[in-house]
Amino acid sequence: MEATSDVAGKSLELWHVLAITLAGVRHRETSCDGLAATKLVTLCILHVAVENIAAIYLRHCDIVAILQRQTISQEREFMPVIAVSNPKGGAGKSTTTLLLATYLAQSGASVCVLDADPNQPIMDWKTNGLSKTTLKVIGGIKESNLMEVLDAQNDQFVFIDLEGTASVLVSRSIAMSDFVIIPVQASAVDVRQAGKAIRAVKDEEKVAQRSNMLRKIPYRVLMTRTPAPGAPVSSVQRQLETELVDAKVPRFRTSLAERLAYKAIFVERLTLAELGEHKVGNLEAAYQNIHELVEELVETLRGLDRKRYPNEQ
């Protein structure tokens, strides 16, 4: 966890600088009776800007702290294998995988993505882009080499970005996973395909339980391309959310909103954190959205780890 500690230290150090700057702004605000109204407005703008920047780094430090609290040791390492699956193409599997993986890598975790999509979108992003992320990407994943590649990994997080169809590779990946994320958009077609993805997980779990009755393959549905907070929500999405609740289907509290920044990471082949100079609209909101999703994912995985090893609290 040395890399995590370095990130935490740098983030904390920058926060101290921002806090001092903010304190200075507040001091000038209390002693500016003689300033013109225009200077007051300038100070207020600076005040808000500094607080917004500080908020971003504090959210980043939250994730770093969560990673540091993970029960990972040399004696017993929990390397969660996370499959991102939905037999429908265009559900947001690669986008979800890349956003989660790059954010975790930026937060100091060692992360690997196995690109099992025939189109190799994440492998293309990695090999043909200029991102400086520490994220490791392995392409060309097939049913014939999946187990060998997985056995060779020792990262804190391993994601498998799966193809948008039912196949032996998809089934085998789910069977070898500790957790499955099922991205779904609010449409009738996506709902039906998500139902197939859930059945696939349950089928693989039943097969695994023939040799290990305690084997579980937990999963959660992730709503993708939803309206940004405050925007109108369609009746189709509301109906879908109601059906998920009624059917007691586990889902993420956080959804992945429709954001230009999430498309831009593939266009520019950069991470969210590296998009700053490309002037992508409302990047801070996009960053906060993925932060909340990562936080929920990490806490969920920690909960699974505690269930595996209840005596190591």
Average pLDDT value for the chain: 79
Out of 43-52, 79-88, 93-102, 230-239, least confident range = 43-52
Rg from Cα positions in the chain: 22
Structure tokens at 142: 């097939």
How far is the C-alpha of 297 from the C-alpha of 99, rounded, in Å?
12
Alpha helix positions (H), the chain? 2-30, 37-69, 93-106, 121-127, 146-151, 168-175, 188-209, 235-246, 260-268, 283-308
Q: Are 121 and 90 in contact (CB under 8 A)?
A: no
The whole-number pLDDT of residue 304 equals: 82
251: which strand partners? 221
Q: Please report, for residues 45, 114, 134, 289, the alpha-carbon distance to residue 148 in angstroms, rounded to integers and kept in the order given.
A: 55, 12, 22, 35
33 pLDDT more than 60: no
pLDDT for position 70: 45
Q: Quick one: which of 164, 158, 13, 186 has its CA closest to 100?
A: 158
What's the CA gap between 201 and 240, in Å, rounded? 20
Query: What is the predicted pLDDT for the residue at 11?
Result: 43
Provide the whole-model pTM. 0.76
Give the CA angle between residues 47, 289, 166 to the nearest 5°: 165
Quick one: average pLDDT of 14-19? 41
